[in-house]
Amino acid sequence: FTCHHCGKQLRSLAGMKYHVMANHNSLPILKAGDEIDEPSERERLRTVLKRLGKLRCMRESCSSSFTSIMGYLYHVRKCGKGAAELEEMTLKCHHCGKPYKSKAGLAYHLRSEHGPISFFPESGQPECLKEMSLEPKSGGRVQRRSAKIAVYHLQELA
């Protein structure tokens, strides 16, 4: 059996399947029109991760390996990019201009530094939620938006 990706000779079909999965897992599953089929791609990565215990970056200059699909996908988005490209990928706070590498980091910054992110549009927001303090609770923790909404609904029931 000969690998059609790299030409390596293997003794069995099982060995060939394992080799392709282990060494050529960077080939994504495509839908019609050269579009990546994300659910199928995640399922394929899940299978590789389950069998091998890790996902390896397929760039020749990179030897990174990952034990989670999300870690692998995060790395693949950034691997091999130049400093200018990485700079373009940063998310900036529209209040203070501070750069963040992830949406989660920016969302946490907005909640903790600039008050809660509004769940309701300004016009449709209940009066009770408008009156809620934008200041963090004692101890410096910010109350989650979902917790504020739950408190509002509990007060509405009482």
Q: What pLDDT sits at residue 30? A: 45
Residues lower than pLDDT 50 in the chain: 29-30, 33-34, 119-121, 129
Does residue 36 lie within any of the structural domains? Answer: yes
Of 82, 106, 136, the domain-final residue: 82
135's tokens: 């200041």
The pLDDT assigned to 19 comes to: 80
The number of distinct structural domains making up the chain is 2
- What's the whole-model pTM score? 0.47
Structure confidence by residue, pLDDT tens digits, 55-88: 888 777 888 888 988 888 888 888 888 888 877 8
- Does some domain include residue 69? yes
- Give every CB contact of residue 45 below 8 A, 6+ residues apart in sequence: 25, 55, 69, 72, 73
Q: What pLDDT score does 16 carry? A: 83
